[in-house]
Structures are given as structure tokens and as C-alpha cells.
């Protein structure tokens, strides 16, 4: 499996730009055609960069047909997997 295939699998949402994926890999210092190393955090972090760039594409609508992507939820799941992004308020009921 290549790094490009691994990041595509990590993103898990259709509709992203191949160029954005390749740029994210190159910015992370990874060769898109290089062999993926299991549990490489660099590939997962590059996937987060691509997903955060897709936040404006959460819904696509054409006439009566629409697709809604759960991009924020996918970002949160990857951040939880990496152990980052836990500064989100889960329950604020203790404030009152």
C-alpha cells in the first residue's frame, strides 16, 4: 500500500482533491508513491489537513439530490484516535 492509498483510506470521505492529498503528503515529508508504514502518524495527520480543508464542502446539492458529509465527525474521530483535540467541551452542565 502506498502513502497515497493510506491517506485516501484514512480520509474515508469521497469528494476530496487528489492534488490536496498529494500536497498534504509532501508537506508532511512523505512520498505519495512511497510504501506506507503501518500506524504512521504522519499520514493520519496529513489526512486531518485534507479534511479540515474540506469543511466548506459539507453539503452538495443539485436539484432534489443532496449529499451531506460528516466531516467534523470524521475529524473528531481521527483527533481522538491520535489523542489530540480533546479540548472540546463534551458536557458543560457543571457550569450551572
Number of helical (H) and strand (E) elements in the chain, helices listed first: 4, 2
pTM of the model: 0.70
77, part of any domain? yes
Instruction: Identify each DSSP E strand in the chain by its residue range.
Output: 59-62, 65-68
93, part of any domain? no
pLDDT tens digit string along 47-71?
Answer: 888 888 877 766 667 778 766 667 7
95, part of any domain? no
Query: What confidence tier does 22 reach under pLDDT thresholds 50, 70, 90?
Result: very high
96, part of any domain? no
92, part of any domain? no
59, part of any domain? yes
Question: Residue 76 belongs to what domain range?
Answer: 3-87
- Report the domain count for the chain: 1
Amino acid at each position: 500500500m502506498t502513502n497515497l492509498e493510506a491517506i485516501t483510506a484514512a480520509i474515508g470521505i469521497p469528494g476530496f482533491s487528489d492534488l490536496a492529498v498529494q500536497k498534504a503528503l509532501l508537506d508532511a515529508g512523505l512520498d505519495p508513491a512511497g510504501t506506507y508504514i503501518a500506524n504512521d502518524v504522519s499520514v493520519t495527520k496529513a489526512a486531518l489537513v485534507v479534511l479540515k480543508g474540506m469543511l466548506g464542502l459539507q453539503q452538495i446539492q443539485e436539484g432534489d439530490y443532496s449529499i451531506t458529509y460528516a466531516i467534523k465527525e470524521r475529524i473528531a474521530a481521527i483527533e481522538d484516535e491520535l489523542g489530540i483535540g480533546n479540548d472540546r467541551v463534551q458536557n458543560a452542565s457543571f457550569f450551572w
